[in-house]
Amino acid sequence: MNAVLGFDDAREVADLAAFLGRLIHYDRAAAVRLQAGGGALAVFGRPPSFEVLAIRTARLVDESVTLDVTVSAGELLESLDESASSTRVPAAVTGPPWVGVLPPRGGWQPVPGLPDPEGMRGAVVAAVAEFRSRDEALPEQRRTRAERELIGRDIWSRTLGSTELPLRAVHAAQSLGFLRPVRALAAAGAPSVPDPVALFASGPWLRLRTPYGSVALRRAGGAGGLSVSPA
């Protein structure tokens, strides 16, 4: 294919590079699915420890570009040229099963009951501390992967606020750099304001959206394992 994509905002190129780097941290052989249309590129990845889909978008210069291909996350990262705000699309690869099951493009409705971003970050910190405490309390003969998986399932399957969103989704958003602390306004001396974070649902899917990316998951079923250790 070797198409060249030009990005409209250099900061989004840097954020995309950081996202790809985090995916590779969890899986050196990670693949991502790229979908472009209407002047935007969506990059879908699946960090194996969290059982969610992670989505990062970036605006394109050419609104006529259309694209739908699965590529190596590592090759895409190497192809990103931050100085030129562009990338050459790597050759297509045979993707894992998840690339064929993406969230719907429309029909998303807001879901109330989500804690504020500071509350969500606090919940992740508390969960990581609980995991470590319970892991350290295991007798030596029970300190196995199976036991740790049981602890992880108990902690990360808990839901947030009055929603059905499992804590593992918030853990993923935090670990991927999507759930950041407050960001200062561009004007010098302007006060910091909370970044808007919202939850949406469409059919069986939930999507946690932040200004830096989204995580999505199905409310029932799904493949893959849960995080068994803090990230």
- Eight-state DSSP code of residue 140: G
- Where helices occur in 85-192 by DSSP H, the ranges are 117-137, 145-156, 167-175
Buried b (16+ CB within 10 A) or exposed e, 71-100: bbbbbbbebbeeeebbbebbeebebbebbe
Binned at pLDDT 50, 70 and 90, residue 124 comes out as: very high
120 burial class (0-12, 13-18, 19+ CB within 10 angstroms)? buried
User: Which whole number is the average pLDDT over 79-89?
Assistant: 93
pLDDT at 44 over 90: yes
How many helices (H) and strands (E) in the chain? 5, 13
pLDDT at 182: 56
Binned at pLDDT 50, 70 and 90, residue 50 comes out as: confident
pLDDT at 183: 53
Q: What percentage of the chain has pLDDT greater than the value 90?
A: 76
Tokens of 21: 């780097």
| 194 or 208: which leads in pLDDT | 208
pLDDT at 140: 87
User: In which residue are the tokens 């995309």 written?
Assistant: 16
pLDDT at 185: 40
pLDDT at 177: 92
pLDDT at 45: 97
C-alpha of 13 from chain center: 16
pLDDT at 209 over 70: yes
C-alpha to C-alpha distance for 189 and 166, rounded to whole angstroms:
37
Average of per-residue pLDDT values in the chain: 88
pLDDT at 180: 82
Q: What is the largest CA-CA distance in the chain?
A: 60
Binned at pLDDT 50, 70 and 90, residue 1 comes out as: low
Binned at pLDDT 50, 70 and 90, residue 36 comes out as: very high
C-alpha to C-alpha distance for 62 and 106, rounded to whole angstroms:
23
* pLDDT per residue as tens digits for the range 170-179: 999 999 999 8
Tokens of 15: 């954020």
User: Which whole number is the average pLDDT over 3-7?
Assistant: 93
C-alpha to C-alpha distance for 58 and 40, rounded to whole angstroms:
6
C-alpha to C-alpha distance for 90 and 170, rounded to whole angstroms:
31
Torsion of CA 171, 173, 177, 180, to 10 degrees: -90
Q: Domains in the chain, please, with CATH? A: 4-92 (3.10.150.10), 109-183+195-218 (no CATH)
